[in-house]
Amino acid sequence: MTTRLSHLFLRTLRDNPVDAEVASHRLLVRGGYIRRAAPGIYSWLPLGLSVLRRLEQIVREEMYAIGAQEVHFPALLPKEPYEISGRWKTYGDGIFVLGDRKSEEIEPRVRKPNYLLAPTHEEVFTLLVKDLYSSYKDLPVNLYQIQTKYRDEARPRAGLLRGREFVMKDSYSFCVTDEDQRAAYDAHRAAYVRIFERLGLPAVPVSADNGNMGGSASEEFLFPCDIGEDTFVESPGGYRANVEAVTSVPPEPQNYDDAPAAVVHHTPGTDTIQTLVDAANTHQPRQDRQWTAADTLKNVVVAVITPDGERKVAIIAVPGDRDVDFKRAEVTIGSTLGIDGEVSVEAAESGDFAQHPDLVRGYIGPGLSLDAPHLGKDSATGIPYLADPRIVEGTRWITGANEADQHVFGLVAGRDFTWDDTIESVVVRDGDPAPDGSGPLTARRGIELGHIFMLGRYFSEVLGLKVLDENGKQTTVAMGSYGFGVTRALAALVEANHDDRGIIWPAAVAPADVHLVATGKGTEVFEAAETLAGDLEAAGLSVIYDDRPKVSPGVKFGDAELLGVPTIVVVGRGLAEGHIEVKDRRTGEAENIELAAVVPHLVERAGSLR
């Protein structure tokens, strides 16, 4: 049916919402597609639902093409499966939890949580297959759903791009063999590529960290965009990875048999890398070149916050010309320190230093084993000391001597100090070598729209999903998990397709094929527009018809450009000469088409845009 603006539940806005930071947020609210219900939570209005359902249909078609079958789980789930998998704890504060009336009451009107609003559904999909399938003959199987998810974002922002409630397609593959699982992974990857091609979004797959999902392989699909919260790198040779998954190219270990002994020098007022370098060049000059920050060893004290809220102090040693990327450090530092669950990392605060008086701020070094009576061995006893991969045996450094106004020169890694473990933590910067040798890296920002995982057998193992194989023996099922952010993709489409007047929807998801505008005071204009709307509908095109009788042409044109249907058709002054104006919302170009030819013209145009 034709959508008539005189009856549509719609109120467009002329001004931007005060809390809108990005274009998609501004325009979706102004265009009456969504409405804020609470921070990070949005109501979907008729036009927004129309676009959302079209996008979902594209996803469904591509899932169907690879043989995936649709199911639907509740969002409200019991905690027991998530306790078994360990994710009830590892999610920490990132999930919404609640207790029902049967739950233990901790205090009046406060119940002990025994349910959660699901952020993802690996556990219950696994249990569903376990409940119904028991033989290798039943597998492989691919199941998916398109459903609302919930995550307790600490700082929801950017409208649909980082919300607390969102729509996601999550699919799962269950296979007996690793070969079948690889095939399922590749099929989903190809399906995602096709989805983005149909949407006209240039999302690129990049290697990614598995996070708390586990597994052996992981890729994100990122839409390159300056407002994106993810950073990825790419090389001329085709390497792409999220910075959290980039591995450094360490130097070769160096021979230090002829290295002179390390020397401690008095270096007053040198509690920063720059002041240290300046003092070294002034008082301890080299013969071959100037000292630089890259010659120094910077020891960054960090606080690792566990899922239980405990703060654990660690030291990360990096070359002095590099900075620590706390997000990169979060990827592996938890497992390195033996902490279960997701952790956060931040710079140590005064309270952390107060708990460790051996740490002399500005002059921190590794635990030293030097023949210097005033320097005790392992001065930072009890604090994990983690090193950047660039710190390899035989490399030589200037670093703190763990005493105020003292630095050690010529400190040799592996001879004069050691480290507990190696960790990837520094900011990846342009020009760093790609780990596969494909050239220097360039960093870009992107919006994550999809993430696919080779989960392996963790979830099936802990939840007991086993089937009988061809030999009648129990075998643990291999799994894959594949997420696609439906509402995020919708917002990304607006980020990629808008101008200063409004949205420019791709035809594949636009709320209509044609936005028909009737302008003028005479009844003949509205009668002709009414007839045209019916003819277009009969020809198979969807129409938004602005039939509002007492609204100015300027307001109607402004709304048409804001709403973003790819083709705007105007029935107005040209009707007297038998012409209808057809305007391309993308280019702004307009042409007059004879009334008798306008329907076949628009049908052909719609076909070319799809």
Query: What integer is the mean pLDDT of 398-406?
Result: 93
Give tens-digit pLDDT for 14-43: 999 999 999 999 999 999 999 999 999 999
What is the rounded CA–CA span in Å between residue 316 and residue 331? 14
Angle, CA 171 vertex, CA 485 and CA 216 arms, to 5°: 95
Q: In the prediction, which pLDDT does 412 show?
A: 95
Instruction: List the single range of 268-277, 304-313, 511-520 with lowest mean pLDDT.
Output: 304-313
Structure token pair of residue 429: 């910067």
Looking at the predicted structure, is the pLDDT value of residue 375 above 60? no
Q: How far apart are CA 85 and CA 121, in angstroms?
A: 11
Taking the CA atoms of residue 424, residue 432, residue 320 and residue 230 in that order, the dihedral angle to the nearest 10 degrees is: -60
- Residue 500 in this model has a pLDDT that exceeds 60: yes
Higher pLDDT, 340 or 79: 79
Average pLDDT over the chain reads 93
Task: Report pLDDT digits (tens) over 101-144.
Answer: 988 888 888 899 999 999 999 999 999 999 999 999 999 999 99
Residue type at position 133: Y
Q: What is the pLDDT of residue 518?
A: 96
User: Higher confidence at residue 156 or residue 342?
Assistant: 156
pLDDT in tens, 252-270: 999 999 999 999 999 999 9
In DSSP notation, 6-38 reads TTSS----SS--TT--SHHHHHHHHTTSEEEEE
CA separation for the pair 361, 445 (Å, rounded): 34
For the beta sheet containing 396-400, the strands, ordered from the edge strand earlier in sequence to the opposite edge, are: 263-266, 406-412, 396-400
pLDDT single digits (tens) 546-583: 999 989 999 999 999 999 999 999 999 999 999 999 99
CA angle, 250 then 251 then 254, to 5°:
135
Rounded Cα gap, residues 371 and 64, in angstroms: 71
CA-to-CA separations, 226 to 17, 97, 578, in angstroms, rounded: 21, 34, 46
Give the separation between CA 318 and CA 138, rounded to whole angstroms.
52
- Over residues 509-517, mean pLDDT: 97
Who's near 572: CB < 8 A, 6+ residues apart? Answer: 517, 518, 519, 520, 525, 553, 581
Q: Please enumerate, as own/partner, the contacts of 527-536 that have beta carbons within 8 Å and a separation of 24 or more.
A: 528/571, 528/575, 528/595, 529/571, 532/569, 532/571, 532/580, 532/595, 532/598, 532/599, 533/2, 534/2, 535/599, 536/599, 536/602
- How many angstroms separate the CA atoms of 511 and 543, rounded? 9
Place of tokens 């052909």: 604
State yes or no: pLDDT of 372 exceeds 50. no
How crowded is residue 177: how many other Cβ atoms within 10 Å of its Cβ? 15
- What average pLDDT does the segment 291-310 reach? 93
Q: What is the rounded CA–CA span in Å between residue 463 and residue 130?
A: 9
Please give the C-alpha separations between residue 503 and each of 32, 223, 236, 251, in angstroms, as whole numbers: 12, 18, 33, 50
Give the E-state strand segments of 535-594 in sequence order. Answer: 543-546, 567-571, 579-584, 590-594
Q: How far apart are CA 411 and CA 395, in angstroms?
A: 8
Q: Which of 118, 78, 75, 124 is nearest to 102 (CA)?
A: 78
**198-212, 318-332, 374-388, 568-582: least confidently modelled range:** 374-388
Rounded CA-CA distance 292/361 in Å is 21
Tokens of 278: 């300046």
Q: What integer is the mean pLDDT of 75-96?
A: 92
Three-class secondary structure of residue 220 per DSSP:
strand
Tally the C-alpha atoms within 13 A of residue 144's C-alpha that lie toward its C-beta. 25
Q: Strand 230-234 to strand 442-456: parallel, antiparallel, or no bridges (unpaired)?
A: antiparallel
Contact (CB, 8 A) for 66 and 188: yes
pLDDT, position 381: 54
Determine the Cα–Cα distance for residues 356 and 337; give it in Å rounded to an integer.
18
Asked if residue 376 has pLDDT above 50, the reply is no
- Identify whether the C-beta of residue 137 lies closer than 8 Å to the C-beta of residue 475: no
Expressed in angstroms, the distance from the first to the final Cα of the chain is 20
Angle between helices 523-538 and 598-609 (to 10 degrees): 50
Is residue 504 helix, strand or coil?
coil
* Residue 302 buriedness (CB in 10 A; 0-12 / 13-18 / 19+): buried
Q: Supply the pLDDT for residue 374.
A: 39
What residues form DSSP beta bridges with 567?
A: 584
Q: What would the pLDDT profile of 46-83 be if each residue is shown by its tens digit? A: 999 999 999 999 999 999 999 999 999 999 999 999 99
